[in-house]
Amino acid sequence: MKKLACVALLAFTANSSLAQTNRIDTVRPDAPELAQFGSYTIGVRTVNTVDPNRIDILNTARGGDSVLYDRPLTLEIWYPAELASGQSPGGEYQAITRNPEITATLTGKAVRDANPLTAEGEFPLIIISHGYPGNRYLLSHLGENLASKGYVVASIDHTDSTYDDQKAFASTLYNRPLDQRFVLDTMAGFNDDSSNFLSGMVDAETTAVVGYSMGGYGLVNNLGGGYTDEIIGSFMAPPNELLNEHATRNPEYRGTLDSRIKAGVAVAPWGMNANFWTAEDLAGISVPALYIAGDA
């Protein structure tokens, strides 16, 4: 009996230790100065949105008419907050992992559904776009940190591209730039809606996008890096040359770019290794951008 008690105690201690390692608000002592958290208290909310009449890549047949559907996108939104009496910083997230049967508990500084800080007016907007697959929590540590510095941050769950909803790659190839622009429009709408919790808080005219892997792929396109013609009809591309919508030589492409995106951070952006861009295509980018990448 004593042996079993010891084993149980060790198991509990190990599990408690593992839970503590899932903190997303830890900053190492030797981290650069800007890695430190800012002075704002952080609130977080989960918001479900729908983009109506998007082309349904998964159900559009080659040679057939485009099928339309209402595309759902879930957002995790961090924002400067004003805590009520009795509230203290801190909260948890339940994040699906690469193994959809395993859920990880992440612990951070944000307070779920905290009152937004409205007294200081609008804050610049940052949109976070994950890889394939991934989810809206993949860069949650960055989301919390940026909100603490005075930004509103919207992290996207890209439908057909999450750990528990991974579908054919063609959907991600087509939808990623569109998802980012839709979320920008949505956040601007929240700012203008007097009944929304973010009313008067979102400076959508000053937006940055942070994209990891396939998020970077969509970001580069939204910065002005149209896809090359050669990829439009490739074996991996969506049906019926629908990727032409995002291509450099499409005369309507540059009209889709959103001038509210003032900067971008592309972390290991996917696409160049698959010939989605040439130097000529990338020359179309004039928006300030930081690329974080490496080689083997």
Which phi and psi (to 5°) does residue 46 adopt? -100, 130
184, 207 contact by CB (below 8 A): yes
Q: What is the pLDDT of residue 174?
A: 99
Q: What is the domain range of residue 92?
A: 2-292
Which of 128, 144, 147 minimizes the C-alpha distance to 136?
Answer: 128
* Tens-place pLDDT, residues 169-208: 999 999 999 999 999 999 999 999 999 999 999 999 999 9
Mean pLDDT of 227-247: 96
CATH of the domain at 268: 3.40.50
Contact predicate 47/113, CB 8 Å:
no
User: Between residues 280 and 2, which one has the greater pLDDT?
Assistant: 280
At residue 226, the pLDDT reads 98
Considering its fold, how many domains does the chain have in total?
1
Q: Are 75 and 41 in contact (CB under 8 A)?
A: no
| Contact assessment for residue 217 and residue 276, using Cβ atoms and an 8 Å cutoff | yes
Measured CA to CA in angstroms, residue 235 lies from 10, 62, 94, 241 at distances of: 53, 12, 37, 11
Q: Which stretch, 21-25, 63-67, 96-100, 232-236, has highest mean pLDDT? A: 63-67
**pTM of the full predicted structure?**
0.92
The residue among 159, 151, 110 whose CA lies nearest residue 130 is: 159
- At 81-103, the pLDDT tens digits run 999 988 999 999 999 999 988 99
Element (H, E) at 116: strand 115-116
Q: What pLDDT score was predicted for residue 14?
A: 37
- Band (pLDDT 50/70/90 cuts) for residue 21 is low
Report whether pLDDT(1) > 60: no
The tokens of 75 are what? 């957002």
What mean pLDDT is reported for the chain? Answer: 93
State whether residue 246 is helix, strand or coil: helix
